[in-house]
Amino acid sequence: MAQAFVTGGSGFIGQVLVRRLLDEGHSVRVLVRSEASAAKASALGAEPVRGELTGGGNISTIAAAIAMPHMATYGARKAAIESFTRSWAAEWSANNIRVNAVAPGNVTTDNVVDFIGTDQFAAWSEINPLKRNATPEELAEVIVFVASERASFVTGQVIVADGGRLAI
């Protein structure tokens, strides 16, 4: 049975991801920092784990690759995650551990829409070629694929799932 370790597994996108990984037959562990997060992870059927993450699959963002107003610090942190992804893939490949990152564009969740604002978030959907924002379920499908044996030769990569935004 494949194992998956998820950070943010009690959050909006994380809960969808945990459910999909469990549906695919993965043994899922969720990094938690509070009793409430541990309870959410357990309720989903995952094993809550307390501690610090030192590697594995990562979530980046297109903000690491393009300039986005008011997102400089966030983009810089995500660019660092992409560098860690490549380095960890090289370091851990001898142990048959694959490390990849997924870089989504805009994903529709309540917390993101609240932070950005409904009108601005809707306007952003018009920027990418697909003319819409992603759902958490769509992002989870990409992550599940990258974590699966179907992607067994993929490591050290940043998989962009942005509706074509970086292509234009």
Whether 157 and 84 share a structural domain: yes
**What is the total count of domains within the chain?**
2
Single residue among 53, 73, 93 that ends a domain in this structure: 53
Cut 0.85: pTM above it: no
Single residue among 38, 53, 68 that ends a domain in this structure: 53
What is the CATH number for 40?
3.40.50.720
Whether 85 and 167 share a structural domain: yes
Single residue among 37, 53, 69 that ends a domain in this structure: 53
Whether 68 and 138 share a structural domain: yes
**Domain of residue 23, residue span:** 1-53
Task: Tell me the C-alpha distance between 57 and 138, whole Å.
Answer: 17
Whether 97 and 161 share a structural domain: yes
Note whether 81 and 58 are within 8 A (CB). Answer: yes
Average pLDDT, the chain: 88
Whether 22 and 78 share a structural domain: no
Whether 133 and 95 share a structural domain: yes
- Alpha helices, DSSP H only, in the chain? 12-23, 35-44, 72-92, 110-116, 118-125, 136-147
- pLDDT tens per residue across span 37-74: 999 999 999 999 986 554 456 788 888 899 888 889 98
Whether 85 and 144 share a structural domain: yes
Picking from 108, 159, 109, the residue whose alpha carbon sits closest to that of residue 132 is 108
Beta bridge partners of 58: 101
Whether 16 and 64 share a structural domain: no
Whether 130 and 64 share a structural domain: yes
Please tell me the predicted confidence (pLDDT) of residue 56: 52
Please tell me the predicted confidence (pLDDT) of residue 129: 95
Please tell me the predicted confidence (pLDDT) of residue 21: 93
Catalytic residue flag (residue 74): yes
3-state class of 167 per DSSP? helix
Considering the candidates 45, 66, 74, 130, report the single residue annotated as catalytic. 74
Whether 96 and 47 share a structural domain: no
| H or E element in which residue 49 lies | strand 47-50
Task: Tell me the C-alpha distance between 90 and 10, whole Å.
Answer: 30
Please tell me the predicted confidence (pLDDT) of residue 95: 87
Whether 44 and 66 share a structural domain: no
Whether 157 and 117 share a structural domain: yes
Q: Structure tokens of 45?
A: 């059927």
Stretch 115-132: mean pLDDT: 90
Please determine, for residue 6, whether its predicted confidence score (pLDDT) is greater than 90.
Answer: no
